[in-house]
Amino acid sequence: MKFSGIAAAAILGVAATNAVETISAVGNKFFLESGKQFFVKGVAYQLVEEDPLVDGEQCSRDAALMKTLGTNTIRVYHVDATKDHTKCMNAFADAGIYTLIDLDTFDTYILPNAPSWNQTQVDAYAAVMDAFIKYDNVLGFFVGNEIIAIANQSLAAPYIKASVRDVKKHRESKGYRKVPIGYSAADIAELRPMLQDYLTCGGDDSQNVDFFALNSYEWCDVTTYDVSGYANLQKQAVNFPVPIFFSETGCNVPGPRLFDDQQAIFGKEMSSDWSGAIIYEWIEEANHYGLISYGPPVAPTATGSNIRGGFSRAGTPTPVSPDFNNLKSQWAKITPSGVAQSDYSPSLVSTRACPASTQDGWLVNGNVALPSIGQVFTGALSTVPIAIPTTTTTAALGSAATTSTTKNPAPANKEIAGMSAGLAGVMLFFTFWL
């Protein structure tokens, strides 16, 4: 959090912290205030389901170790807007770490098979924004996580876009800085290419995402750029109109994780179009995706103030070997050159055409009217004209490219530490919504 001076900090009743530059989205890049391009080197951080950003001492311990890892961003899936987050946000800012915050709560996220967007949801999302907008190390907000995961859920896409519209409207009405607003998508072959285009099409920036992020586990060591499927992801990201990055990655099959994909993401193959990656996840749990642990596992039925799901949720973070050091080594070798904002022209990006419906399950046909607040979904969507003519480029045709599907080890929409039970649990979650 950056203040204008010591006096301002005293008035607010908080201690001054090391200043960090704010970040903005320009074209398909993130830029610091200084004009330097920003690449995300992040980890998913959700120690407890309700809010991991309220224990300042724990955040300080974790931020210190994250700094040695090379982390510059964390993603937090759920927070409590009524709590004070100053100590944690300051701890991460002091370590040079930015935050990506999900706006939805456990009872306000958009349901995939019965989508709605009502005033209760608007108010809840706005409350989270109000609670965090004052911190300069907020990189962006997510309006949703993997809302769409199977074919018949694509009709929820207009509701995702409606949430972007109204969150942006709240941002503008309050005179807030233009913190980027985006979405975190599941890597579903038949849906993701259309979804990423749909959320950026139509020509109305007030309704389109400011960034698009992907939860992808396609790269499972040992593999290569071409074999993994990353080459196809790259084809569909060339000159994408907004920043695109991995909001979850780090396949652990067969293990240990080598994180060789980081060289591709931040290297010559992808860095001109991708803005980095977030590794899933910080804390060791039953799915064995953790980079650190707070102690050995205990019985799943064990209880205690910091024990849930058989794992300790607080304490001194201890690196999980060899994954922690493998990632640290990869990030230490990464020095993407990027581009200076003064030398960058946003006009180089492509405008995406609104995708037509497909036989594979994308059910939104073209640029449809977005639901108003409180509007009930009737099963039909009406097409509206685009705001400006679109220019279909080679990049815009990427949706037709061959793609692959990956399975997320974390429950979609309900990211809960201690409840990520692996791929089988994910499939049970999806079945629940069918």
The amino acid at residue 219 is W
Query: Which residue is catalytic, options 49, 218, 248, 415?
Result: 248
Cα–Cα distance, 99 to 138 (Å, whole number): 5
Q: What's the 3-state SS for 251-262?
A: CCCCCCCCCCHH
Residue 49 designated active-site? no
CA–CA dist 364, 199 (Å, integer): 11
How many C-beta atoms surround the C-beta of residue 369 within 10 A?
Answer: 12
Whether residue 430 contacts residue 148, with contact meaning beta carbons closer than 8 Å, is answered with no
Q: Determine whether 248 is an active site residue.
A: yes
Out of 146, 218, 281, 284, the active site residue is: 146
Compute the distance between CA of residue 283 and CA of residue 46 in angstroms, rounded to an integer: 8
How far apart (Å, rounded) are the C-alpha atoms in residues 146 and 214? 9
How far apart, in whole angstroms, are the C-alpha atoms of residue 123 and residue 119? 6
Q: Of the candidates 163, 212, 181, which has an alpha carbon nearest to the alpha carbon of residue 349? A: 212
96: left (phi > 0), else alpha (psi -120 to 50), else beta? Answer: left
Single out the residue of 312, 278, 306, 308 nearest to residue 292, CA to CA: 312
Contacts of 225 (CB under 8 A, 6+ apart): 231, 264, 269
Residues that are catalytic: 146, 248
